[in-house]
Amino acid sequence: MPLSWILMMLLPLILIWQCGFAKTIERYPLPTMAQQQQFQVLIKELRCLVCQNQDLADSNADLAKDLRQQVYTMILANKTDLEIKQYMIARYGDFILFNPPFNPETMALWLMPFILLTLGIFFYWRLARVRK
């Protein structure tokens, strides 16, 4: 059987398989352009608590959909960015923000990269000194 026939028979299967990865587009109609922009900015700044490395805009998790709906509802209620973020922080903690504030609770999060880098340099220096 020629290769072209095999490819022609596999093409429908490949197309059907790809349809499973199609992202459903959710619509959040807002009355003004400013509110639409506010919504887009907020869902990019808030983290999906399930995916952890994705913002709400990119996540397909059920919790992310619920959080997008909450943000949408609060924007329709004319809440400010600060009020929405404070509500989310009060409910889910600082972890929901991609850029959490520097405070005693998040100090390890902010300082750990510098501490690990310093320890790595120190141990490398000690190892190089021992080899001489």
C-alpha dist (Å) from residue 114 to 28, 82, 121: 41, 30, 11
pLDDT of residue 122: 94
pLDDT of residue 46: 93
Measured distance CA(86)–CA(82) in Å, rounded: 6
pLDDT of residue 74: 95
Task: Spell out the per-residue pLDDT of the chain, length 132, in tens.
Answer: 677 777 777 767 666 655 555 454 568 888 899 999 999 999 999 998 888 788 888 888 889 999 999 999 999 999 999 999 999 999 988 888 888 778 887 788 788 899 999 999 999 999 988 876
Give the largest Cα separation in the chain, rounded: 71
Instruction: List the domain boundaries for the chain.
Output: 28-101
pLDDT of residue 80: 94
Query: Does CATH place domain 28-101 in 1.10.30.50?
Result: no
Going by C-alpha positions, the residue among 56, 99, 100, 95 that lies closest to residue 74 is 56
Q: Which amino acid is at 52?
A: Q
pLDDT of residue 24: 47
pLDDT of residue 118: 95
Q: Which amino acid is at 110?
A: W
Going by C-alpha positions, the residue among 40, 77, 72, 74 that lies closest to residue 55 is 40
pLDDT of residue 99: 80
